[in-house]
Amino acid sequence: MRLLVLGGTQFLGRHVVSAALARGHDVATFTRGVSGPPPEGARALHGDRDDPGALPRALGEWAPELVVDTSAQSRAAARHAAAVLGGVRGYAFVSSLNAYRGWPPGPVGPEDGEHTWGTADDGYGPDKAYAERVIGASVGRAFLTARAGLVVGPYDYVHRLGWWLERIHRGGRVVVPAEGLAQPIALVDARDLAGWLVGMAEAGAGGAVNATGPAGMTTLGGLLDLCREITGSDAEWVPVPEADLLAAGVEEWVHLPLWLRQGVARTAWDVDTARARALGLPSRPLAATVADTWAWQQEDHRPRYSPNGLPRPGLPPDLEAALLSSR
Ligand SMILES: NC(=O)c1ccc[n+]([C@@H]2O[C@H](COP(=O)([O-])OP(=O)(O)OC[C@H]3O[C@@H](n4cnc5c(N)ncnc54)[C@H](OP(=O)(O)O)[C@@H]3O)[C@@H](O)[C@H]2O)c1
């Protein structure tokens, strides 16, 4: 079928394109052309989602039957997609757990019981909730919104897991959050999510799905141990108590990626994914995700960046030195 990927040249979207091509679809991507080309085999259409005329101009006579939308970041982008793509047979939209008014800190129960942000609210989560409503109203029953949790894997330029891999690979004494090590966490491999999104669009599946790994699939410490094993590092963990991290100015999630203070972490990682599991969202072994991400990082030396104005993840060297010097 003719499958349009809105996005498709960076991370999750790139994997969506590869999955759709592997399943024999005629795939087109729609991007500004700033982030480079899509994987070979897809036709690259260009335009800005914020321009109301750009998508119909780029599509011309090529009428998509299926859509996977990884790139909606503004309300205008959502309205313009809704105006043009309402008649497709399946539309899988990539939203975020941030669409929920109560997350973080959560916890997040079954999709139907949770409230998303209202139209009057402002920011990343409210914009995702707005896009879900606007595109959902246009597409109807074949609109599926995947409220993604933490997405990791090869081509992840957001560089959260990537930062840990690089830091741990350098070895030596590595600051880790003392109480955070035992914290259960969950994440989803971009390739698992991508293939599943294509399948959901093909099936014309609808509704909201909390799209992340099973709650408690690992712990933060378990993930860091895997990073050490896979990078062949001699890194020694230096557990720093939460109170000391916060007093030193260490920012949760940003300076130590994936670390949240206990009061938030306990519930933020507690997400009900029963619907995702029932709909077949896979969760490959974490060791495969970490190994493949590390292999990609060693091949691809282009600069990492943080999309959408997010701060760059990682512990600033002076902060790390100060924390280590007293221990
Ligand atoms: N990473 C996470 O942990 C996480 C968690 C929850 C949800 N999400 C969501 O998952 C999605 C993942 O994004 P991704 O970066 O992996 O997807 P992607 O499709 O691989 O990359 C984003 C695409 O958007 C295009 N784009 C950006 N601005 C555009 C515009 N104004 N008009 C047209 N195209 C535009 C970019 O190409 P050009 O730059 O060339 O235009 C690029 O192809 C996002 O929607 C994000 O909100 C991510």
pLDDT at 287 (0 to 100): 98
Per-residue confidence band for 302, with pLDDT thresholds at 50, 70 and 90:
confident
Considering the domain architecture, whether residues 37 and 113 belong to the same structural domain is answered as: yes
Considering the domain architecture, whether residues 143 and 22 belong to the same structural domain is answered as: yes
CA distance 267 to 60: 47
CATH number at residue 318: 3.90.25
Considering the domain architecture, whether residues 52 and 175 belong to the same structural domain is answered as: no
The crossing angle, in degrees rounded to 10, of helices 75-85 and 124-139 is 10
Given a cut of 70, whether residue 180 has pLDDT beyond it is yes
**What is the separation of C-alpha 238 from the centre of its chain, rounded to a whole number of angstroms?**
29
pLDDT at 304 (0 to 100): 65
Question: Mean pLDDT, to the nearest integer, of 26-31?
Answer: 98
Kindly state the DSSP code that residue 118 receives in the 8-state scheme: P
Q: In this structure, are strands 218-219 and 184-185 parallel, antiparallel, or unpaired? A: antiparallel
Pocket probe for ligand 1: among 5, 6, 11, 12, the residue whose CB has the most ligand atoms within 8 Å is: 12
Domain tally, the chain: 2
Kindly state the DSSP code that residue 287 receives in the 8-state scheme: H
Question: Mean pLDDT, to the nearest integer, of 87-97?
Answer: 98
Question: Mean pLDDT, to the nearest integer, of 81-102?
Answer: 98
Asked if the structure places residue 270 within a domain, the reply is no
Q: Which domain holds residue 160?
A: 154-185+218-264+284-325
Instruction: Answer yes or no: is the C-beta of 146 below 6 A from any ligand 1 atom.
Output: no
Considering the domain architecture, whether residues 257 and 290 belong to the same structural domain is answered as: yes
Instruction: Answer yes or no: is the C-beta of 297 below 6 A from any ligand 1 atom.
Output: no
Tokens in use for 21?
């091509």
Secondary element (H or E) of residue 299: helix 286-299
Q: Which among 325, 326, 178 is positioned nearest to 243, based on CA atoms?
A: 178
Rounded to the nearest angstrom, the distance between the alpha carbon of 10 and the centre of ligand 1 is 7
Considering the domain architecture, whether residues 145 and 114 belong to the same structural domain is answered as: yes
User: Out of 123-127, 135-139, 162-166, 308-312, which region has the weakest mean confidence (pLDDT)?
Assistant: 308-312
CATH number at residue 138: 3.40.50.720
Asked if the structure places residue 274 within a domain, the reply is no
Considering the domain architecture, whether residues 241 and 136 belong to the same structural domain is answered as: no
CA distance 241 to 37: 45
Question: Which residue puts its alpha carbon closest to atom 1 of ligand 1?
Answer: 151
Considering the domain architecture, whether residues 18 and 119 belong to the same structural domain is answered as: yes
Look-up: residue for tokens 């973080």?
A: 104
pLDDT at 310 (0 to 100): 74
